[in-house]
Each structure stands twice: as structure tokens, then as C-alpha cells.
Amino acid sequence: MDKVLEAKNINKHFLKPKDFHVLKNISFAIKKGEFASIMGKSGSGKSTLLYILSTMDTEYTGELYLNEKLVTGRLPSELSRIRNEHIGFVFQFHYLLSEFSVLENVMLPAKKLARKTNQEIEFDAIQKLKMLGIENLAKQKASRISGGEKQRVAIARALINNPSILMGDEPTGNLDSYNSDNVFNIFKRLKEEEGLSLLVVTHDEDFAKRTDYIIEMEDGRIIS
């Protein structure tokens, strides 16, 4: 029992403006503690695939498993809980609530899950901020910190519920090389120290080469 994520024969069509077969028989699995990257030209279907894998898009055929349990076909309310509990997501743009403090942003997904008291959640959030070296920013408004810091806050937020897998869609796409390196090293440390599984779409070949393996996409297929 160590497959954290498995896709079996995922196919997807966009029907508008005309029928377009965007994902073609996508099958692969990520094991616990694996750090995989997805590369491929713009338009090859990477973001579309991540939306399906993160359970946000349910319009596809094939099967998606999380921790060896079938996720495909579940009700929207169940999917929302599964997503909040098991999947951390980091985007190119951070989507922090700018009027809230860093600490409040990180606490939000745990408050939504409602398994712990606010005090426990605050403690967890500070632990995550410490792990990312930004606990000194806890009380700052999210709008008042730098781009690299915002992305680290977004990672802390993605980790607050201790997900089974962290997914990223070009999480370093807006960062300079110093901050990209920083994010990569954080991901690597999460894999090595916490046994976290990661799946990250990137355009950065140096980043991808340092992951455990590269899933290469072309025209909606995995080619290697």
C-alpha cells in the first residue's frame, strides 16, 4: 500500500468551441515519498491534467485513485473534503488573501476542515512557517511581503492539513532563480524529512532534472 496517487486511462475532451481530445489515455502512479515533475510544451495538457488529479475537474473518463481509494464518481461535497484533507496545491500565482495576515492565510484550510481547535491550528501554522523559515512574518499582512515570501506562505498553507501529496502548477514560474532554488530545496526537504509525495509541473529543466523522475507530455499524451 504505497501508491499515493494513481491515474488509470484518463481521457478528456473539451467540447467547445469544438471537440478537442485534450488528454489521451493518461496512466501513471506516484508512490509515497516520490518527487515527480511534469514537463511539456505550452498547450500539451499539463494544467488540465493537474485539475483532474487534484479532483477539481470531474469531467473525464478513466479512474483516479488517492491512497488506493477510487475518487472518480464521488459527490462534490466528498471531493471537497478529500481535496482539503489529502491534497496540497501550489499555483504559479499564490492566491493569498491580501487583507489577512500570513498566519491567518496559513490557518484557513485547517479551519475549513474543522478537526482541531483554533489554538491547535495556530500552533500547527506556526510550525509550518518555522519549517519554511518565515515565522517572523506571521503577523504581517499578506500584501506586505515579497513575492518569494508569498510563495513560501502559499506552501505553508498547502501543508497545513498534512496532505498525502503536494501538487504544483509552475510554482516557481513567477520567481527569480534564487527564490526558485529556495522552493525546490523546500520541496526536496519535505520529501526527505517528511516522506511527502510531490507532483510539480515546471518549465524549468534544471528544476525537473533534480526531481526523482520527469513525466513528459506532448499533445495530451505521456511520451516518457
Looking at 45-53, 58-66, 79-87, 129-137, which segment touches Mg ion (CB under 5 A)?
Answer: 45-53
For residue 129, count other CB atoms closer than 10 A to its CB. Answer: 20
Residues of this chain that bind ligand ADP (CB under 6 A): 14, 20, 22, 40, 42-48
Q: Which is nearer to Mg ion, 6 or 169 (CB)?
A: 169
Q: Are 50 and 167 in contact (CB under 8 A)?
A: yes
- Minimum distance of ligand ADP from residue 64's CB (angstroms): 16
Give me the least distance between CB of 45 and Mg ion, in Å please. 8
Question: Distance between CA atoms of 177 and 174, rounded to whole angstroms?
Answer: 10
Nearest residue (CB) to ligand ADP, 17 versus 99: 17
> Taking a C-beta distance cutoff of 8 angstroms, is the pair 23, 48 a contact?
yes
Q: To the nearest whole angstrom, how small is the minimum distance from the Cβ of residue 45 to ligand ADP?
A: 4
Partner whose footprint covers residue 48, from Mg ion, ligand ADP, none (CB < 5 to 8 Å by kind)? ligand ADP
Residues from 74 through 133 that contact Mg ion (CB under 5 A) = none
Judged by CB, which is closer to ligand ADP: 22, or 145? 22
**Greatest CA span in the chain, whole angstroms?**
51
Which is nearer to ligand ADP, 14 or 123 (by Cβ)? 14
Q: Which three cell numbers stand for residue 42?
A: 505550452
Give the phi and the psi of residue 199 in degrees, each rounded to 5: -135, 115
CA distance 207 to 175: 13
Beta partners for 20?
14
Binding site for Mg ion (CB under 5 A): 46-47
